[in-house]
Structure 1
């Protein structure tokens, strides 16, 4: 018998983000959250109405899911360019401003 124990497969990344001097690990987005956020974004685009508040909340929710240890108020205190940079960093590795650093252990 072969067994693939997904409970032992780590759902982590080696990405970390610093907000207010505190390091927070970025975790991969779950499939369920990805589907939910993709549907929300599609509905927003289909509505054809610009709603900056809704757009920012979609981004904030996604970032909060991927950086669960970061308090929501810390994320909300960031600027819009910072939020956009975080969203980009979550999706890709080659983001301007991201640097390779040695592990602390």
Structure 2
């Protein structure tokens, strides 16, 4: 018998954002979240969305993957910082990202 264990397949590497000393775990992007984000981006492109609308879409995308993060925590940052957060969430290497020490990771 062969078994495909989706629990193991969908296990994303542990990633988190730390803001003001509080850790916020990053959840993997679901298909539903991807569709919502794609539709929002398409709407902005076709309707010529304002920079404010683009930032709202960016914040919403971040919050889909970091649901415990309060929205007001993100609004304190610059648009450039939000883009760095998006890159980190996507799994890209970004300046300032740290690898937790083995002993610390188990906490």
TM-score w.r.t. the length of structure 1 is 0.82
Residues of 1 paired with 2:5 and 2:49: CA distance?
Answer: 45
Matches within 5 A, 1:10-21: 11-21=11-21
Q: Is there any run of 5+ residues in structure 1 with no aligned partner, and where?
A: none
Deviations 1:35-70 (CA, angstroms, capped at 9, x unpaired): 1111211221122x2401110110010001111111
Residues of 2 paired with 1:12 and 1:66: CA distance?
Answer: 12
Residues of 2 paired with 1:89 and 1:34: CA distance?
Answer: 16
Find the counterpart in structure 2 of residue 70 from structure 1: 69
> Are the counterparts in 2 of residues 13 and 26 from structure 1 also a CA contact under 8 Å?
no
Residues of 2 paired with 1:11 and 1:68: CA distance?
Answer: 17
Q: Give SS of 1:24's match.
A: strand
> Are the counterparts in 2 of residues 16 and 24 from structure 1 also a CA contact under 8 Å?
yes
Q: Give SS of 1:43's match.
A: helix
Find the counterpart in structure 2 of residue 38 from structure 1: 38
Q: Kindly state the Cα deviation for residue 78 of structure 1 after the two structures are TM-superposed.
A: 2.3
- What RMSD, in angstroms, separates the aligned Cα atoms of the two structures? 1.9
Residues of 1 paired with 2:60 and 2:11: CA distance?
Answer: 19
Find the counterpart in structure 2 of residue 59 from structure 1: 58
Matched, 1:86 2:93: no
